Structure 1
Amino acid sequence: MRELSAFQKSREPASVRQHARTSAPRRGRAAPSVLLADERPAARYRIVVLNAPAESQTRSVLPIVRELRRRGHRMTYVTTREFAPSAAATGVDVLVHDSCPTLGADANPEDCGPADARLVADALDWAEEVDAAFRDDDPPDLVLYETSVHATARFLTCRWGRPAVQILPSFAHRAQDAAEVGAALESTDVDDGSCARRLPGHIRERLYRFLTPGGMAGGAPSNFYTKPEPLSIALLPREFQTDGELFDGSVAFVGTCTPECGVIDQWIPPSTDLPVVFLALDPELIEGGRESLRACVSALAEKSLHVVVLTPNGAAESLFAADDPPLNVELHDHVPWATVLRRAAVFVCHSDLHSVMESLYFNTALVAVPTSHRQRAVADRVVELDLGAHVSPDRAALGTLADVVTALVADPGIARSVREGQRWARNAGGALRAADEIEGFLEWSYEP
């Protein structure tokens, strides 16, 4: 990660390089008194972004990063080499790290206890590398982070004494729920509730050294695992959130942040009038693997449908290796999601929240095939709101999937519900509202 990025320096316009030092007042530092209110330059803050190195999280967070960069803020995005080009394309600084440790897509804070030595060591390795990149400069004004990397993010906020905003990739939890989990964690710890007390000595000493500048060396587990941030950005509309009306302004429900379509994001729709079914399933995550996925596609091909299949890791070409796929089936290793979803009648996916939100944004019904606890919660909400259907991975290849898809295509009630879901998704505000909320929080944190 030492290479602050071969990507970013050449991409940064001179007008931004001139503002490498942020013109917004730092904590405890007064704004220049010589400027009249209407002459004051637009505030430019320095923001570091920590995100999980995964396709779904990268696709959902980068539109927010792009919008903040467009507004003149100096952005530093931390990711792995695989996702560095996508981040660099937004014009931001990129810090490349060999690996960005996460809690995983389905992890709960209570499952990753404060004495998990491996997790703490990995998160601390990453935090030390990020901190070293800012050693010759003031720390960033804000840490913007996606939930699954919150251990590293909170180590950094404690060391730097800077505020943070959390991006929620799934359902939000109300403050009292998080507080209850934090209390349970602290009650299971020893003596003073220190999350470091049960760590191996060498990791504990590293943690103390790293956190001491921020005064948090003996912090309780809730400071790193369950304590809510003053502002969280939830990537779903309030209407999709269970009990969404009970949340206060500390959670901004901005909906999906759909990336801009580029010139190269081309997909040629079929010349027929058949309904398009977009299927994006990982064969490793369904019962029976690749053979089951092939059976799913073959069953769909027998219906009056046009099937667009997206598979990861180069699996598309080998799906029908022995013979050509049916004429109404397309196989892709890469395809522009938004372009296909605009034309699709049904989207079959593993029901991570971002995929579901993109589907609603483009008025596409869903068949959710969940493979984790978090995805099952999203799938249940899809069914509850009449936005589609839920098929378990072990039944996807039994003809069930094709029958469910054809039923959805012909169901006017589902179509009405999905159109209402599209209104929720498009009215939530997306990346523009997320940037507004983050800027408002920064002004509240720093402006006199």
Structure 2
Amino acid sequence: MAHIAILTIGAHGHINPTIDLVTEAVTRGHRVTYCVPAGFGSAAETAGARLLTYGSLLTPQPASPPSGPAPAPPVDAPAQAPTAAELAAYLPFILLAESGHVVPQLLKAFADDIPDVLLYDRTAYATGRALGERWRRPAVEVFVSFAYNEHFSLAAATHQQSVLDPDHHAYRALADQLAAFATATGTQPVTVDDFVLGRTDEAIAFLPRAFQYAGDTFGSGHEFVGPCLRTRLAASTPTGAPDRHRPVEIYASLGTAFTDRPQTYDAIIDALGQVDARSLLSMGSIGHDGTVPDAGNDRVEIRASVDQLSALATARVFVTHAGMGSVMEALYFGVPLVCLPRTTEQQTVARRIAELGLGIDLGADAPTPAGLRTAIERAQTDPRILRSVRAMRDVVRATGGATAAMDAVQRLLAQRSAALCAGTP
């Protein structure tokens, strides 16, 4: 069977959706090599992949340009942590620097065992394109959040000044560095448009086409497969104390990446204490003194971490940061959402949730306890929200998940095999 390589980054929101791909590929008899920064990927190894770790320059929120052999960001890149508008221009340079660092590592690691197909995370666009070209193998882009094309991008959706604009101060610098990257890797250069949009003919997105902005403008080569949860569902365990006989009714979590939000957590704890329901808040280890606080209410339990799928399986409302992975998990279970987004991407996801009638977007500012309590009560009683969530649950479950994704990969492999038989490389 085929040798499949999966390339992702060191972030759980990017890793979790790919574990089912490993399981599905191995079940079908394929050999999988899972490429991820050191310290990540144990779940992929457990699912049957060979783990290949690589050195990475990425950090969650770079405060200064990365160092190393890769191209450097422009001289006027922000020296401090970038604003949302600055990040739209700065992030492409960070990702390109990462590609310049990673491509030589993977070319060396796979020198004697080139994969038949590469699945690469959207953030590794330049890496995936370069490896696919060098290996002369199919390369499939993987979107864990919204896919981009000429009709939708995060910069356009949030009205940020975009590096796609030739008049943008960073446009020429990025074009020059893309050309330098192509020379260094021996590949054809890509345009700024290609790079920033992740333009490709073959892609897999872990959301339904119905949830994607401008979903009908993406061609048949873009497979919208929805969340891939089978492996994690099989390992999911029931949520326990304080009352094992009373399931979680209101579940709240702001994810794992941006948890330093004390005012928001205080409002959540206060609001949950006023709701007559068993509530569960997952907040990591971030409290005012670095520990998980006591809610002071028997109905509200606070934990550093929980089995999120188990909590969502019984929840009637999910108070969320609106990360795409968490949103898809909630919609799989048909749970209405109350969104407290922080990042630009989360705000865009939250806005889509409100547009589709799947929940309530309270915006990026810390909510008041009263406003949050009202939103929680409305989310679980509003007939329009309940109808919309039930309908989207059916759509999400019908998208096919990892089965549909691997079907698409096997079609590509079959097309390449047929081309080789016909004498076309």
- Identify the residue that residue 278 of structure 1 maps to in structure 2: 251
Q: For the aligned residues, what is the CA RMSD?
A: 3.6
Among 282, 301, 310, the alignment partner of 2:282 is 310
Q: Deviations over 1:233-283 (max 9, x none)?
A: 121112222332343312111111114234563422745668611101159
Name the SS of the counterpart of 1:339 in structure 2: helix
- Identify the residue that residue 301 of structure 1 maps to in structure 2: 273
- Identify the residue that residue 119 of structure 2 maps to in structure 1: 144
The answer to whether structure 1 residue 94 and structure 2 residue 72 are counterparts is no
Name the SS of the counterpart of 2:207 in structure 1: coil
- Identify the residue that residue 74 of structure 2 maps to in structure 1: none
Among 357, 374, 378, the alignment partner of 2:328 is 357
Q: Following the alignment from structure 2 to structure 1, what is the Cα–Cα distance between the partners of residues 288 and 303?
A: 6
**Residue 146 of structure 1: CA displacement?**
1.5
CA radius of gyration, larger in: 1
Percent pairwise identity: 27
Paired residues for 1:127-166 under 5 Å: 127-137=103-113, 139-166=114-141
Among 173, 176, 192, the alignment partner of 1:198 is 176
The answer to whether structure 1 residue 331 and structure 2 residue 302 are counterparts is yes
- Identify the residue that residue 252 of structure 1 maps to in structure 2: 223
Q: Following the alignment from structure 1 to structure 2, what is the Cα–Cα distance between the partners of residues 320 and 102?
A: 25
- Identify the residue that residue 33 of structure 2 maps to in structure 1: 76
Alignment length (residue pairs): 387
Q: Which segment drifts farther, 65-74 or 409-418?
A: 409-418
Name the SS of the counterpart of 1:396 in structure 2: coil
Q: Deviations over 1:204-257 (max 9, x none)?
A: 4x752432xxx52x5544554446322211211122223323433121111111
- Identify the residue that residue 159 of structure 2 maps to in structure 1: none
Q: Following the alignment from structure 2 to structure 1, what is the Cα–Cα distance between the partners of residues 85 and 9?
A: 13
Q: Following the alignment from structure 1 to structure 2, what is the Cα–Cα distance between the partners of residues 346 and 64?
A: 29
**Residue 356 of structure 1: CA displacement?**
1.0
Q: Deviations over 1:79-127 (max 9, x none)?
A: 123322122111101111243648989899973587x4x5433321111
Name the SS of the counterpart of 2:137 in structure 1: coil
The answer to whether structure 1 residue 290 and structure 2 residue 262 are counterparts is yes
AA aligned to 1:355 is S
Name the SS of the counterpart of 1:268 in structure 2: coil
Describe the shift of the 1:176–1:336 C-alpha distance in structure 2 as closer, same or farther (beyond 3 A): closer
Is the 2:335–2:389 contact (alpha carbons within 8 Å) kept by the matching residues of 1? yes
**Residue 171 of structure 1: CA displacement?**
2.2
Q: Following the alignment from structure 1 to structure 2, what is the Cα–Cα distance between the partners of residues 397 and 84?
A: 39
Q: Which segment drifts farther, 382-391 or 153-162?
A: 153-162
The answer to whether structure 1 residue 111 and structure 2 residue 89 are counterparts is yes
- Identify the residue that residue 428 of structure 1 maps to in structure 2: 399
Is the 2:330–2:336 contact (alpha carbons within 8 Å) kept by the matching residues of 1? yes
**Residue 145 of structure 1: CA displacement?**
1.1
**Residue 290 of structure 1: CA displacement?**
2.0
Q: Following the alignment from structure 2 to structure 1, what is the Cα–Cα distance between the partners of residues 123 and 327?
A: 19
Is the 1:195–1:220 contact (alpha carbons within 8 Å) kept by the matching residues of 2? no
- Identify the residue that residue 378 of structure 2 maps to in structure 1: 407
**Residue 71 of structure 1: CA displacement?**
1.0
**Residue 303 of structure 1: CA displacement?**
1.4
- Identify the residue that residue 344 of structure 1 maps to in structure 2: 315
AA aligned to 2:389 is V
- Identify the residue that residue 172 of structure 1 maps to in structure 2: 147
Name the SS of the counterpart of 2:47 in structure 1: coil
Name the SS of the counterpart of 1:342 in structure 2: helix
**Residue 398 of structure 1: CA displacement?**
4.2
Describe the shift of the 1:402–1:177 C-alpha distance in structure 2 as closer, same or farther (beyond 3 A): closer
| Structure 1 gaps, min length 5 | 1-43
AA aligned to 1:293 is Y
Describe the shift of the 1:127–1:316 C-alpha distance in structure 2 as closer, same or farther (beyond 3 A): farther
Describe the shift of the 1:219–1:149 C-alpha distance in structure 2 as closer, same or farther (beyond 3 A): closer
**Residue 169 of structure 1: CA displacement?**
1.8
Q: Following the alignment from structure 1 to structure 2, what is the Cα–Cα distance between the partners of residues 318 and 74?
A: 43
Paired residues for 1:164-243 under 5 Å: 164-174=139-149, 198-199=176-177, 204=180, 208-211=183-186, 215-216=187-188, 218-222=189-193, 224-226=195-197, 228-243=199-214
The answer to whether structure 1 residue 267 and structure 2 residue 239 are counterparts is yes
- Identify the residue that residue 99 of structure 2 maps to in structure 1: 123
Q: Following the alignment from structure 1 to structure 2, what is the Cα–Cα distance between the partners of residues 264 and 430?
A: 17
- Identify the residue that residue 9 of structure 2 maps to in structure 1: 52
AA aligned to 1:396 is P
Scaled by the length of structure 1, the TM-score of the pair is 0.76
Q: Following the alignment from structure 2 to structure 1, what is the Cα–Cα distance between the partners of residues 213 and 298?
A: 42
AA aligned to 1:149 is A
Is the 1:168–1:233 contact (alpha carbons within 8 Å) kept by the matching residues of 2? yes
The answer to whether structure 1 residue 368 and structure 2 residue 344 are counterparts is no
- Identify the residue that residue 68 of structure 2 maps to in structure 1: none
Q: Following the alignment from structure 1 to structure 2, what is the Cα–Cα distance between the partners of residues 148 and 104?
A: 14
Q: Deviations over 1:401-429 (max 9, x none)?
A: 12210121222332221111100100111
- Identify the residue that residue 438 of structure 1 maps to in structure 2: 409
Is the 2:152–2:213 contact (alpha carbons within 8 Å) kept by the matching residues of 1? no
AA aligned to 1:158 is E
Among 367, 384, 387, the alignment partner of 2:355 is 384
Q: Following the alignment from structure 2 to structure 1, what is the Cα–Cα distance between the partners of residues 237 and 289?
A: 20
Q: Following the alignment from structure 1 to structure 2, what is the Cα–Cα distance between the partners of residues 109 and 289?
A: 20
Name the SS of the counterpart of 1:96 in structure 2: strand
Q: Following the alignment from structure 2 to structure 1, what is the Cα–Cα distance between the partners of residues 287 and 118?
A: 37
Describe the shift of the 1:110–1:258 C-alpha distance in structure 2 as closer, same or farther (beyond 3 A): same
AA aligned to 1:305 is A
Name the SS of the counterpart of 2:33 in structure 1: strand
Describe the shift of the 1:59–1:80 C-alpha distance in structure 2 as closer, same or farther (beyond 3 A): same
Q: Following the alignment from structure 1 to structure 2, what is the Cα–Cα distance between the partners of residues 434 and 48?
A: 14
Describe the shift of the 1:110–1:401 C-alpha distance in structure 2 as closer, same or farther (beyond 3 A): closer
Is the 2:15–2:41 contact (alpha carbons within 8 Å) kept by the matching residues of 1? no
- Identify the residue that residue 7 of structure 1 maps to in structure 2: none
